[in-house]
Structure 1
Amino acid sequence: MAAYLLANLTIRDPRAFEAYRQAVPAVIARFGGRYLVRGGAVEVKEGEPGLQRLIILEFPDMPAARAFYDSPDYAPLLALRLAAADGSVALVEGWSA
């Protein structure tokens, strides 16, 4: 069953974040991940979701999503992102009918 990484980020350092943004797709792909949403426009229809820069990644399953986030490959990029942006990140199991 697919799993998703959901991130809602506020960029503090655009230059550093751009370095992260350029480097991270290759690491995501190594773990079978792909972008579904990558910071596009958000049109709020109800409530106040507090969305800034929304990123949604899809992975084959929860172990692959965890392996990506916890990997030594991602660790230096995570440090770069944490220095460049604030936000929330969660892993979510998908649903299958």
Structure 2
Amino acid sequence: MPALVLVEVSIHNPELYEEYKKHTLATIQLYGGRFVVRGVKTESLEGNWNPERLVILEFPDVETAKNWWASPEYSKAKAIRYEAANSKMLVVESN
């Protein structure tokens, strides 16, 4: 069953975050993933949720998404993201 990774990002170092973005696509593709949403404008319909940046990824399944997140290929990019931004990330099964 496909899985989605939802990421809410608050960037505090935009230049460094641009470096992070350069490293992510190849790692996502290596694990059969793709961007569904990448940093587009959002509008809250309910509650107090207005992410600065929202990213949604799709992977073949939850296990593959988790393997991508923990992979050596993504570790360099992840370290850059940790320096450049604060993030919240969820993985969910998709119907």
SS at match of 1:36: strand
How much has 1:45 moved relative to structure 2? 2.0
What is the TM-score normalised by the length of structure 2?
0.95
Aligned positions of 1:1-97 closer than 5 A: 1-95=1-95
Q: Distance in 2 between matches of 1:44 and 1:4?
A: 20
* 2:31–2:59 CA contact under 8 A, matched in 1: yes
Gaps (5+ residues) in structure 1?
none
In 2 relative to 1, CA 50–44 (structure 1 residues): closer, same or farther, beyond 3 Å?
closer
- Structure 1 residue ranges (4+ consecutive) displaced by more than 2 angstroms after TM superposition: none
The superposition leaves residues 23-60 of structure 1 with CA deviations (integer Å, 9 ceiling, x where unpaired) of 11011000000000001000222221242200000001
SS at match of 1:73: helix
Gaps (5+ residues) in structure 2?
none
Percent of aligned pairs with the same residue? 38
What is the TM-score normalised by the length of structure 1?
0.93
Q: How many residues align?
A: 95
Cα RMSD between the aligned structures?
A: 0.9
